[in-house]
Structure 1
Amino acid sequence: MASAPKRAATALALLLAGSVVPGAWAAGAAGVSQGAATCEKPVYLTFDTGHMGVAPLVADVLKRQNVRVTFFAAAERTQTDGDSLDDHWAPWWKARAAEGNEFGSHTYDHAYWRADVKGTPPSFRIKPSAGPQDGKESTWSAAEYCANIRKSSDRLAAITGKKPLPLYRAPGGKTSPALLAAAEGCGYKYAGWSPAGFLGDELPSEKFSNAKLLTQALGSIRPGDILLAHLGIWSRKDPWAPANLEPLIVGLKAKGFCFETLRQHPDFRAWIASHP
């Protein structure tokens, strides 16, 4: 019988050739799991919230492939006429916690930094894309920004029973040194993503096909990279996750990569330990 890595490599090759039906290759690839002892070529898969339309599929793939990830959550508008941290989605988040995944804040109102406002103490021009101030730009103090980070973290703790990591991700990756200092001052370190880890699920599918994005990711991701995807993007016509998530995981495993959460990332270990 072929080894698990060989089965995964064969499955990926068939998938890229378009000659395997969905699900048929996944069973063979599922035997390639995370190493229990050491992870010599780690990558760190992370998901930000979105419309949550692909959230059930993402959960199924992660369980089947025995992969743990870090989720950054905001209360974003969903296809279920609520938000991604409401009671409808609470059981989904709780189940992910039980599986050993980690969590961090994405700000509660998916609040975009727009600019620093001169003055002491610092304040910031912020434009949320969710919540009661959706689409409205206003000035927030450092304390108000911190409160919005904390609100998401507190909500995650309440619905999962697990304390999130003392990490946050600013929507769009938009930050400034003053904003990062303000967040660290209230206990949250910023977690971005690696250039090669931008998986492209936000990009227009008319210009960036799923096949192109998968080939690019498999060719460019290196050990230590933080990867970024979403639980649903409104603007992309051909969703990324159904076509690419499992092939990406299988392909990276076939190349000797393993998956860890940001709790294990060397840039964050000391911070997490000092902010229990």
Structure 2
Amino acid sequence: MLTHKSNTFFLLAVLFLLSILSFYIEIKGYYFVLIFFFWLLIAVAGSGLIRMNYHLKAHSRSFSSDRKIAITFDDGPTEITPEVLDVLKKNNVKATFFCIGNQIEKHPEIFDRIIAEGHVIGNHSFTHSKNIGFFSKKKMLEEISQTDISITKFLGKKPRYYRPPFGVTNPNIAKALKETKHFVIGWNVRSLDTKIKTEQKILKRIKSRISPGSIILLHDTSLKSLRVLEQLLVFLQENNYEAVTVEQLLEIPAYEN
């Protein structure tokens, strides 16, 4: 498995070898640049694609052949969340919500309802800052611990799941999570429901990627995503899929005892 450590070791080893060879044969400078560019390309891809497990191990799907999938929601709770909960309740489906700490503080009654209706809760940072990829380890620890405190205040127990905002990882995030001992939960079906404009295109994208063991990423932030959820649940039923929580799918405990 290609990791940041092995990628960097490869870079340094090749640069060292080229440096030694340069004493005996002419090595063009652009070879050094190309090697560094190749390293950088892999590092950028690994930081943005959580399934690569480049900086840390992320659980992005189950490899069981059972026709079970997990629907997950990021960025809530919001004003849309109650309608999402209504749809889930109507269809007797439990989901997993990766919640933002400051959103919990804004909508405590909605968050309380998520818990009361038996859905699983995960940590999704406190601010979901666009600059979170540049935060220090200390700042990341604050983001994670603040959200854990907010969740525990309502839930009565500490969450063990963490999902990085935007799916971005880096050495500082990895170090922070190693210290907090959270399980990192990714996905293998990204709906792009915050980017794609029409619900039909979003649904088509999900349908083309779903398979037994999939973890689907949605957001409880728009009516568009709500309508996608309604149609997705019909599709799952028609195709004999069972929607379960991430905890049930991966058999990894969601909370500390």
Between Structure 1 and Structure 2, the one with more helix by share is: 2
**Does the 8 A contact of 1:107 with 1:148 survive in 2?**
yes
How does the TM-score come out when normalised to structure 2? 0.67
User: Counterpart in 1 of 2:150?
Assistant: 155
Which of 72, 84, 104 is the matching residue for 1:85? 104
SS of alignment partner, residue 94 of structure 1: helix
Which of 76, 93, 97 is the matching residue for 1:71? 97
**Does the 8 A contact of 1:187 with 1:275 survive in 2?**
no
How does the TM-score come out when normalised to structure 1? 0.63
User: Counterpart in 2 of 1:224?
Assistant: 213
User: Counterpart in 1 of 2:191?
Assistant: 199
Measure the CA separation in 1 of the matches of 2:121 and 2:132: 25
**Does the 8 A contact of 2:105 with 2:150 survive in 1?**
no
SS of alignment partner, residue 47 of structure 1: strand
Counterparts in 2 of 1:14-93, with a 5 A limit?
Answer: 40-50=66-76, 52-75=78-101, 84-86=103-105, 89-93=107-111
**AA in 1 matched with 2:95:** V
SS of alignment partner, residue 172 of structure 1: helix
Taking only aligned residues, the RMSD between alpha carbons, in angstroms, comes to 2.4
Measure the CA separation in 2 of the matches of 1:182 and 1:84: 22
Measure the CA separation in 2 of the matches of 1:57 and 1:274: 26
User: Counterpart in 2 of 1:13?
Assistant: none
Q: Where does structure 1 differ by over 6 angstroms across 4 or more consecutive aligned residues?
A: none
Measure the CA separation in 2 of the matches of 1:99 and 1:73: 15
Residue 166, structure 1, aligned to residue 160, structure 2: yes
Residue 187 of structure 1: how far off its partner (Å) = 1.6
User: Counterpart in 1 of 2:201?
Assistant: 212
Measure the CA separation in 1 of the matches of 2:176 and 2:226: 38
User: Counterpart in 1 of 2:178?
Assistant: 184
Pair 1:144–1:220, CA change in 2 (3 A) = closer
Measure the CA separation in 2 of the matches of 1:94 and 1:149: 20
**Does the 8 A contact of 1:108 with 1:151 survive in 2?**
yes
SS of alignment partner, residue 214 of structure 1: helix
Aligned residues: 193
